[in-house]
Amino acid sequence: MRFSQLVNLGLRILQPVSFLLIQLLTTLGMSSQAFFILWIVTVLLGLMVGLLWLRREKQLLRRLQQMISDENPEEEEAVSQTYEDIEAALKALFDTRKEELLQLQRLENYRRDYIGNVAHELKTPIFSIQGYIETVLDDPDLDRKTLESFLVKANKNADRLGQIVLDLDTITKYESGFLVLDQQPFDMLQLVNEIVESLELQAKENNITLQVFAPAGDYQVLGDRKRISQVLTNLGYNSIRYGHENGNSRFRLSSTGAKVIVEVADNGIGIPQEHLGRVFERFFRVDKHRNRATGGSGLGLSICKHIVEAHGETISVISTEGAGSVFSFSVKAVQ
């Protein structure tokens, strides 16, 4: 606000008082000289009010500048002593704090959901193990066949419990940056063939045919062979787990020169369109009952995403419900 504006403001404030004094002096019969003196006094008072207001304005601007610079030191030199700049800086500061608050709310919701999911996933195998053991202890006369069946089921749930813990530990290490990749050149086609061979037993149990398609070429890549092997195993196992009986799982390789693209496809149950954006989230299940029945931890795809992104690459999925899914990711080729 300019100084002249402040003076006018002061005069406007004093105008009612001056008017009342003029009426009083007129009633008392005062001379024109008294009117002039009164006018001078009114102007001086207006100047004093304007100066006081200006001083107050500068103090307010300094305090606002100090508050902004305390919150964001980078803004200290950018903000000059004008209301417009202060208003813009305060608006930017407000927007930043609003976004931080929303982020904190999202993190709190995520933390709450995560703890609930972990508790639920751990509770299921623990209660199953506890139930089988208590049954054996309560009935020492169980026949050997039933006893072995209960022990096998308890052991299966113990394996699942251990896998959940290992998967959680793996994700935590990736997110915290404690897990360092051992990146070395290796043959992706050779690794895919090894993974397919390791999955043959599970595929046979589900009457799934495993296939590898790779045009002639060089598939040397740079990455952590052990971690990429984990990605291929998880994707291959999922294609078998959710595939239709007498179906097939296909591993396809292609090269762009700079990268090697790996696709794992099946003709299984597929994923509904509304769930495609969440398949890589921790513990997310399209069909919770089916997934638990097949022994999944709900962490496999999340681990795949972390591993691929740790290599500086991306993983994606294309799926049609009832027709199957195609998961694909890339790895840098050895130049």
Digit-coded pLDDT (tens) for 192-236: 999 999 889 888 888 899 999 989 888 999 999 999 998 999 899
Average pLDDT, the chain: 77
Q: For residues 212 and 219, is the Cβ–Cβ distance under 8 A?
A: no
Q: Is the domain of 198 the same as that of 317?
A: yes
**Is residue 86 in a domain?**
no
Nearest C-alpha neighbor of 237 from the set 251, 219, 226, 225: 251
For the cut 80, the answer to whether the pLDDT of residue 296 exceeds it is: no
Torsion from C-alpha of 64, 69, 74, 76, nearest 10 degrees: 60
**Is residue 25 in a domain?**
yes
Domain end residue (candidates: 22, 56, 81): 81
Other CB atoms within a 10 A radius of the CB of residue 333 amount to 19
Q: For residues 55 and 10, is the Cβ–Cβ distance under 8 A?
A: no
CATH of the domain at 149: 1.10.287.130
**Is residue 95 in a domain?**
no
Q: How far apart are CA 220 and CA 211, in angstroms?
A: 20
Q: Is the domain of 27 the same as that of 134?
A: no
| pLDDT value of position 224 | 92
- 17-21, 41-45, 81-85, 306-310: which is most confident: 306-310
Report the Cα 239 to chain-centroid distance in Å: 26
Q: Write the pLDDT tens digit of every residue in 124-166.
A: 788 888 888 888 888 877 888 888 888 888 888 888 788 778 8
Q: Is the domain of 42 the same as that of 142?
A: no
How distant, in Å, are the alpha carbons of 23, 40, 45, 117, 190 from that of 197?
Answer: 108, 103, 96, 33, 11
0.75 exceeded by the pTM? no
Q: Is the domain of 195 the same as that of 157?
A: no
Q: Write the pLDDT tens digit of every residue in 16-39.
A: 655 665 665 566 555 556 656 666
**Is residue 256 in a domain?**
yes
Total domains, the chain = 3
157: exposed, middle or buried (C-beta count within 10 Å: 0-12, 13-18, 19+)?
buried
How distant, in Å, are the alpha carbons of 20, 33, 36, 177 from that of 40?
Answer: 16, 11, 6, 75
Q: Is the domain of 270 the same as that of 213?
A: yes
CATH of the domain at 233: 3.30.565.10
Q: Is the domain of 160 the same as that of 205?
A: no
| pLDDT value of position 293 | 47
**Is residue 209 in a domain?**
yes
Q: Write the pLDDT tens digit of every residue in 318-329.
A: 988 888 889 999
Report the Cα 282 to chain-centroid distance in Å: 11
| pLDDT value of position 279 | 81
Q: Is the domain of 273 the same as that of 147?
A: no
Q: For residues 69 and 76, is the Cβ–Cβ distance under 8 A?
A: yes
Q: Predicted confidence band at 188 (pLDDT cuts at 50, 70, 90)?
A: very high
Q: Is the domain of 172 the same as that of 188?
A: no
Q: For residues 258 and 333, is the Cβ–Cβ distance under 8 A?
A: yes
Let me know the angle formed at the C-alpha of 17 by 11 and 22, rounded to the nearest 5 degrees: 105
Which residue type sits at 323? A
Of the chain, the percentage scoring pLDDT greater than 70 comes to: 70
Domain end residue (candidates: 30, 57, 81): 81
For the cut 90, the answer to whether the pLDDT of residue 190 exceeds it is: yes
Residues 115-126, mean pLDDT to the nearest whole number: 74
For the cut 60, the answer to whether the pLDDT of residue 57 exceeds it is: yes
| pLDDT value of position 290 | 46
Q: Is the domain of 37 the same as that of 60?
A: yes
Domain end residue (candidates: 176, 207, 223): 176
**Is residue 104 in a domain?**
no
Q: Is the domain of 190 the same as that of 170?
A: no
| 24: Cβ contacts below 8 Å, ≥ 6 apart | none
Domain residues for the domain of 38 are: 3-81
Q: Is the domain of 328 the same as that of 211?
A: yes
Q: Write the pLDDT tens digit of every residue in 246-283.
A: 888 999 999 888 999 999 999 888 888 887 777 887 77
Tokens coding 292: 């638990």
Q: How far apart are CA 135 and CA 147, in angstroms?
A: 9
Q: Write the pLDDT tens digit of every residue in 99-115.
A: 888 888 877 776 776 67
**Is residue 151 in a domain?**
yes
59: exposed, middle or buried (C-beta count within 10 Å: 0-12, 13-18, 19+)?
exposed
Report the Cα 262 to chain-centroid distance in Å: 25
**Is residue 249 in a domain?**
yes
Q: For residues 57 and 19, is the Cβ–Cβ distance under 8 A?
A: no
| pLDDT value of position 106 | 76
For the cut 50, the answer to whether the pLDDT of residue 79 exceeds it is: no
Q: Is the domain of 126 the same as that of 75?
A: no
